[in-house]
Amino acid sequence: MAAKKQTYEQAMKRLEEIVTRIDSNELDIDSLGESLKEAQELIKFCREKLYKADGEIKKILEEEDK
């Protein structure tokens, strides 16, 4: 799913699903590695979205102060 165009909300929902499966011991050792890699990609995606949004907000606020 990480390769498809997705929203921040979709990525967070998938992360929550992965965490829930890990917490409830639903993943076997083989699936765990794959799920952790997917989670890592999703975290990177979400972090980039947040940094971009933060930059846009700061830019808007700076323009407003002028």
Tens of pLDDT, residue by residue over 11-49, are 999 999 999 999 999 989 889 999 999 999 999 999 999
Q: For residue 15, which of 34, 32, 31, 35 has the smallest C-alpha distance? A: 35
**Dihedral in degrees, nearest 10, Cα atoms 42, 47, 49, 51:** -170
The larger pLDDT score, comparing residue 66 to residue 46, is at 46
Packing angle of the helix pair 29-65, 8-23 (nearest 10 deg): 150
Q: For residue 3, which of 42, 48, 50, 49 has the smallest C-alpha distance? A: 42
Look at the pTM and tell me if it is higher than 0.85.
Answer: no
pLDDT band of residue 65 (cuts 50, 70, 90) is confident
